Each structure stands twice: as C-alpha cells, then as structure tokens.
C-alpha cells in the first residue's frame, strides 16, 4: 500500500506540475499576472510568495491550478493589460493549450528516454496473428477458432500483428465482435464475445501466439553448457516433437532425467540439432538454463531511433485513447474499464515494484491521456474553454456571463458523472484486506 501511495504521489505530482507549469510559463511570457501556482486543491498547507505569485502546496493532491489576474468574468477587474481577459483570444488560447501540450511533450520525452535504455520485448508482437493455442472453454474455442487460423480482422478492423489484435480486443470486453479468419485457402467469419479479464475488465478472446522458449542464461558446467546450448537459442522441438502448450518444454525436461534428448534449436537464423541429457536434481531433471516462455527481441536504439520509436508509440497510444472514447460513445467499450485515482495508484504501485522503466512508461501513458483528455471540448476542461472561445469567435461576440455559467454547469455535471463512475470502478477493484493490512 505504501508503495502504491508513494508511486501515485510521484507520478501525479510530476504530471500536474508539468501541466500547470505550461499554463504558468505561457501566461508569464505574454504578460499575464499570475496570482497563484498550486499543486493540489483546497486549504493551502505551504505557501511561498515570489513577486506577485503565491506558490502553494494544497491539501487535496488530486490536481492543481494556476490562478491568473482577471481570469473569470466575475473577478474584480481593473482593465489592466496584465489581466487574462484583457488579452486577445489568440493569446488566451496559447495559455489554455499549453497545459495539455506540456503533458503530451512529457509523454514523448519520457518514452524516448525509456526506449533509449533498451529492452527485451516479445518477438510475437510484430508477427502475424496466427493462432498458436486456443484456451479451453474460451470464447475463441466456443466460436470455432482453431490452431493455425490467421486472424484477418476483428469488429471490422484489420489486424496485421498480435499487438494490433490485443489493442483491438482489450477495450471490447463482453461485446460481440465479428472475427474474419483465413483457414487454409478459405476465409471464415465467426462471432466472438471477448471475456472480461482482470480487475480492469480487459477483453480477451482466449487465443495466444505460437510461443517457443528462448534461453536467457546457461549455468556453467551444467548439461546445457556441456552440450553447447547458448543464450538466445530458441527451442522449437524435443525429439522432433514441436514445442506447444500441449507438449511443454519444461515438463518434458523435468520428466526425463538421465535420458538423452535431441533438441531442435534456432540460433542466428540457423537450425541446429543438439543432444542434451537432463541431470537428476532432487526429483526432477534439469539442464541448467534460465528460460523465457517466448522468443524475445532486443531493442537497443540510438538517440534518433529512440525519438522515432517514441513518436510511433505515442501515436499508437493516442489511437487507442480515441478508440476507447469512441467506444464509450457507441457502447462498444464498457465504462467499467475506466480508471480513477485509486486505480492509478494501484497501477503505479505495481509498476514501481517491477522497476523504474515500468513506472516511467506508465507515467508517459498517463501524461498522454491527461493531455488528450484535457483537450476535449467539455466545459471546465482546457478544451472546453478553448471551445467556448472558438464559438465566440465564430459568432463574433462574447457570450454573457449567464450563458457561460450554464455551459460550465453542463460540463461540471458531465465530469461529476464521470468521476462517480471511475471512483465506483476503483472501489469495486480494491482488495480492502490487502490495502488495510488485514
């Protein structure tokens, strides 16, 4: 629990600071007087005054704000040039857009740094979605999907890789989808309803790629080392029997202590045959290797390649965000998948336990979400204020305070309904015994 709270505070603090700093810097650049820069809402716990600005840390750490002179029509105004509403619509637009823009830039920069560190990622993600195994009693099995089928499209969306398949299915739990397959020379169409998996209601068809174990490390002096097996070798068969979920590699090794086995190994694109005899250790046979259950590929980009990959990753995430938003409007995506502060805290804690790379990747994803969602034309959000200014520009007149209050109230109601939904989702996901230490 403490890890989740600390990670959540760190992630949210950085994202809010960057967002509000965008508003602050742009306001100062165009000559607007900033009265308050606050991390958090509510009562001010700590205040430092510099010039005309109070820099604060407030009691409720679920956001922040920048208060500018003459920001609202009902504020006491002197008509001075350093007040927000004294500026042109273009200047006010720059102030409003800069907060979300800074979050999007942060997502891009953080992800570029993360990718530049290098990583091992599943090789199957970029491979065609050929079914390697169908889970028993899964939606895929019930709809007649078979091992060897090539999935061409899901819900009318073409999928060319396993990564695209997962992204397409994830937000559509418990929604019937049309799946088009290629089986031999025929195209087959079937209807599948993905199951909701995990506490976040992630859609799952019940199919997995063809996955073959890869050697990560070889213990010196053990049977694998003596036989000539090397790190990065991919094991495809034992005694000419292909490795599958029905014929698992580890179980085969464990069951054949002191029995010579012929492994088919792929190394650098070449296929080799290597004989190895598992040694009896305790009650099982072992060959002395550390395994990945699937083949991995190593990403070691240079600076420019990391920047390009960050752009591609954020572009793909943006597509998923818009896909989810569209799915909420069309009922393709369940509102149960929405995550609020407690859910983000859980995710942050889990990522922190994995390591800094996972935590900063999560930060980049949330920052991108925050940037895009703040641009939506919903009153109260930055995008809502921009939308109102755009309408005023089109009508060539400023709306009255009464009209703006009604628009803001409508936006507040929408946000309130959204907050109730995400908080309810968070509360139903929490293992209260674990959080309370029971």
Q: Residue 337's pLDDT is what? A: 66
In the chain, where the domains are located: 2-117+360-435, 121-208, 214-291
Contact in structure between 274 and 287 (CB atoms under 8 Å): no
CA angle 77, 81, 87 (to 5 degrees): 90
Could you give the CA distance from residue 55 to residue 21 in angstroms, rounded to a whole number? Answer: 11
Cβ-proximal residues to 215 (8 Å cutoff; 6+ apart), any chain = 224, 229, 230, 231, 232, 233, 234, 235, 289, 290, 291
**pLDDT band, residue 138 (cuts 50/70/90):** very high
Who has greater pLDDT, 209 or 421?
209
Active-site positions read 20
Q: Which two tokens stand for residue 273?
A: 């045959």
Statement: residue 399 has pLDDT above 80: no
The percentage of the chain sitting over the pLDDT mark of 70, rounded to a whole number, equals 91
Q: Is 286 helix (H, G, I), strand (E, B) or coil?
A: strand
Cβ-proximal residues to 65 (8 Å cutoff; 6+ apart), any chain = 20, 36, 38, 41
pLDDT, one tens digit per residue, over 174-223 is 889 999 999 999 999 999 999 988 777 788 999 999 889 999 999 999 99
Q: Is 302 helix (H, G, I), strand (E, B) or coil?
A: coil
Who has greater pLDDT, 58 or 7?
58
Cβ-proximal residues to 204 (8 Å cutoff; 6+ apart), any chain = 138, 139, 169, 173, 194, 195, 196, 197
pLDDT, one tens digit per residue, over 38-78 is 998 888 889 999 988 999 999 887 788 999 998 876 666 67
* R_g of the chain computed on alpha carbons: 27
Who has greater pLDDT, 248 or 225?
225
Average pLDDT, the chain: 86
Same fold, 121-208 and 214-291: yes
Q: Residue 397's pLDDT is what? A: 81
Fold type of domain 121-208: Pdz3 Domain (2.30.42)
Q: Residue 423's pLDDT is what? A: 65
Statement: residue 88 has pLDDT above 80: yes
Q: Residue 341's pLDDT is what? A: 65
Nearest to 191 by CA among 151, 146, 152, 139: 139
CATH entry 2.30.42.10 includes domain 214-291:
yes
pLDDT, one tens digit per residue, over 251-261 is 999 999 999 99
Mean pLDDT of 377-406: 81
Q: Please report which residue ranges of 65-212 form alpha helices under DSSP H.
A: 89-116, 139-142, 162-169
Q: Which two tokens stand for residue 433?
A: 């015994």
């Amino acid at each position: 629990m403490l890890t989740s709270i600390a990670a959540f505070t760190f992630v949210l603090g950085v994202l809010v600071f960057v967002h509000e700093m965008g508003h602050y810097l742009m306001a100062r650049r165009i000559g607007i007087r900033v009265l308050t820069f606050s991390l958090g809402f509510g009562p001010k716990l700590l205040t430092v005054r510099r010039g005309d600005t109070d820099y604060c840390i407030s009691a409720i750490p679920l956001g922040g704000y920048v208060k500018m002179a003459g920001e609202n029509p009902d504020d006491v105004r002197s008509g001075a040039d350093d007040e927000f509403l004294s500026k042109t619509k273009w200047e006010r637009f720059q102030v409003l857009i800069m907060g979300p823009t800074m979050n999007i830039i942060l997502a891009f920069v953080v992800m570029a740094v993360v990718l530049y560190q290098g990583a091992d990622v599943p090789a199957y993600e970029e491979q065609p979605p050929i079914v390697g195994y169908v889970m028993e009693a899964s939606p895929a099995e019930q709809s007649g999907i078979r091992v060897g089928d090539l999935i061409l499209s899901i819900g009318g969306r073409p999928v060319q890789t396993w990564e695209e398949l997962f992204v397409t299915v994830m937000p559509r739990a418990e929604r019937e989808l049309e799946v088009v397959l290629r089986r031999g020379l025929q195209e087959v169409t079937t209807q599948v309803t993905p199951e909701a998996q995990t506490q976040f209601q992630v859609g799952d068809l019940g199919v997995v790629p063809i996955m073959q174990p890869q050697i990560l490390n070889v213990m010196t002096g053990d049977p694998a080392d003596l036989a000539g097996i090397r790190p990065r070798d991919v094991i495809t068969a034992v005694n000419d029997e292909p490795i599958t979920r029905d014929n698992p590699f580890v179980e085969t090794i464990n069951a054949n202590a002191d029995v010579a086995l012929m492994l088919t190994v792929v190394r650098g694109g070449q296929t080799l045959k290597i004989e190895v005899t598992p040694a009896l250790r305790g009650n099982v046979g072992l060959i002395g290797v550390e395994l990945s259950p699937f083949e991995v590929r190593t990403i070691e980009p240079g600076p420019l390649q990391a920047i390009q990959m960050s752009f591609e990753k954020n572009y793909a995430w943006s597509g998923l965000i818009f896909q989810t938003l569209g799915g909420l409007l069309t009922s393709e995506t369940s509102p149960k998948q929405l995550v609020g502060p407690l859910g983000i805290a859980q995710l942050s804690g889990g990522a922190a336990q994995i390591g800094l790379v996972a935590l900063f990747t999560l930060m980049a994803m949330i920052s991108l979400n925050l940037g895009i969602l703040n641009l939506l034309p919903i009153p109260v959000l930055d995008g809502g204020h921009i939308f109102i200014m755009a309408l005023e520009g089109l009508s060539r007149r400023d709306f009255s305070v009464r009209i703006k209050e009604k628009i803001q109230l409508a936006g507040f109601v929408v946000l309130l309904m959204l907050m109730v939904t995400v908080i309810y989702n968070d509360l139903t996901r929490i293992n209260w015994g674990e959080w309370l230490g029971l």
